[in-house]
Amino acid sequence: MRRLALLLGMFMVVAVSAFSQRYITGQVSDESGSVLPGVNVVIKNTTIGVVTDPNGEYQIKVNSENDVLVFMFIGMISQEIKVEQRNVINVMMKSDAVEIEECVVVSGLGGKVRGLNVFKSKRERKGPPMLVRGHSFVAYEQDFNTESYAGISENGYKQVTSEPLSTFSVDVDRASYTNVRRFLNQGQLPPEGSVRIEEMINYFNYDYEEPEKEHPFAVNSEMATCPWNDEHYLLKVGLKGKEIEKDNLPASNLVFLIDVSGSMNASNKLPLLKSSFRLLVNELRDEDYVSIVVYAGAAGLVLEPTSGQNKKTILDALDKLQAGGSTAGGAGLKLAYATAKEHFVEDGNNRIILATDGDFNVGESSNASMEQLVADERDNGIYMTVLGFGMGNYKDDRMEIIADKGNGNYAYIDNLQEAQKTLVSEFGGTLFTIAKDVKFQIEFNPEQVLAYRLIGYENRLLNDEDFNDDTRDAGEIGAGHTVTALYEIIPQGADDAKKWIKSVDELKYQKKQKRRNVAMSDDWLTLKLRYKRPDEKASNLMEYVIKGDVDAFDEASKDFRFAASVAAFGMILSDSKYKGDIDYEDLKEMAKESRGNDEDGFKAEMIRLIKTAESLSSQVALGK
Instruction: Answer positive or negative: Cα dihedral of 398, 191, 170, 601.
Output: positive
Q: How far is CA 266 from CA 4, 41, 269, 393, 463, in A?
A: 52, 16, 5, 12, 43
For the segment 418-470, what is each residue's pLDDT rounded down to a tens digit?
Answer: 898 889 888 887 888 899 999 999 999 999 999 999 999 999 999 999 999 99
**Mean pLDDT, the chain, integer:** 82
**SS3 at position 47:** coil
User: In this predicted structure, what is the pLDDT of residue 345?
Assistant: 93
Burial of 506 (C-beta count, 10 Å sphere; 0-12/13-18/19+): exposed
* pLDDT, mean of residues 279-299: 90
Pick 297 or 317 by higher pLDDT: 317
The angle formed by the CA atoms of residues 198, 202 and 205, to the nearest 5 degrees, is 160
pLDDT over threshold 60, residue 102: no
Residue (of 200, 175, 208) closest to 567 by Cα position: 200
% of the chain with per-residue pLDDT over 90: 49
For the segment 379-390, what is each residue's pLDDT rounded down to a tens digit?
Answer: 888 998 999 898
One DSSP character per residue, 434-500 reads EEEEEEEEEEE-TTTEEEEEEES-GGGB--GGGGG-TTS--EEEETT-EEEEEEEEEETT-TTHHHH
Least confident of 137-146, 180-189, 547-556: 137-146
Residue type, 624: K
Q: Which domains does the chain have, with CATH numbers?
A: 20-93 (2.60.40.1120), 98-140 (no CATH), 158-244+435-502+516-619 (2.60.40.1230), 252-394 (3.40.50.410)
**SS3 at position 194:** coil
CA–CA separation, 223 vs 612, rounded Å? 31
Strand spans (E) along 65-210: 68-72, 79-82, 91-93, 98-107, 112-121, 131-133, 137-140, 158-159, 165-169
User: In this predicted structure, what is the pLDDT of residue 41?
Assistant: 86
User: In this predicted structure, what is the pLDDT of residue 236?
Assistant: 97
Pick 130 or 21 by higher pLDDT: 21
User: In this predicted structure, what is the pLDDT of residue 138?
Assistant: 28
Q: Which long-range contacts (CB under 8 A, 24 or more apart) does 211-216 make?
A: 211/240, 211/241, 211/242, 215/531, 215/540, 215/542, 216/241, 216/242, 216/434, 216/435, 216/477, 216/531, 216/533
* pLDDT, mean of residues 499-524: 71
Q: Which secondary structure element, helix H or strand E, spans residue 237, and what is its range? A: strand 229-241
For the segment 128-174, what is each residue's pLDDT rounded down to a tens digit?
Answer: 333 332 322 222 233 346 677 878 899 999 999 999 999 999 988 88
Which residues are registered as beta bridge partners of 107?
Answer: 137
Q: What's the pLDDT band for 331 if we cut at 50, 70, 90? A: confident
User: In this predicted structure, what is the pLDDT of residue 404?
Assistant: 78
Pick 208 or 502 by higher pLDDT: 208
pLDDT over threshold 70, residue 621: no
Q: What's the pLDDT band for 56 if we cut at 50, 70, 90? A: confident
Pick 314 or 52 by higher pLDDT: 314
DSSP 189: P
Terminal C-alpha separation, the chain:
76
CA–CA separation, 188 vs 196, rounded Å? 17
Q: What's the pLDDT band for 577 if we cut at 50, 70, 90? A: very high
CA–CA separation, 71 vs 36, rounded Å? 11
For the segment 256-277, what is each residue's pLDDT rounded down to a tens digit?
Answer: 999 998 888 888 889 999 999 9
Q: Which secondary structure element, helix H or strand E, spans residue 188, and what is its range? A: none
% of the chain with per-residue pLDDT over 70: 83
Burial of 497 (C-beta count, 10 Å sphere; 0-12/13-18/19+): middle
* pLDDT, mean of residues 575-601: 92
Q: Which secondary structure element, helix H or strand E, spans residue 1, and what is its range? A: none
For the segment 340-378, what is each residue's pLDDT rounded down to a tens digit?
Answer: 999 999 989 999 999 988 766 545 555 667 777 788 888
Residue type, 243: E
CA–CA separation, 328 vs 580, rounded Å? 46
C-beta neighbour count of 430 within 10 angstroms: 25
pTM over 0.85: no
Cβ(65)–Cβ(44) below 8 Å: no
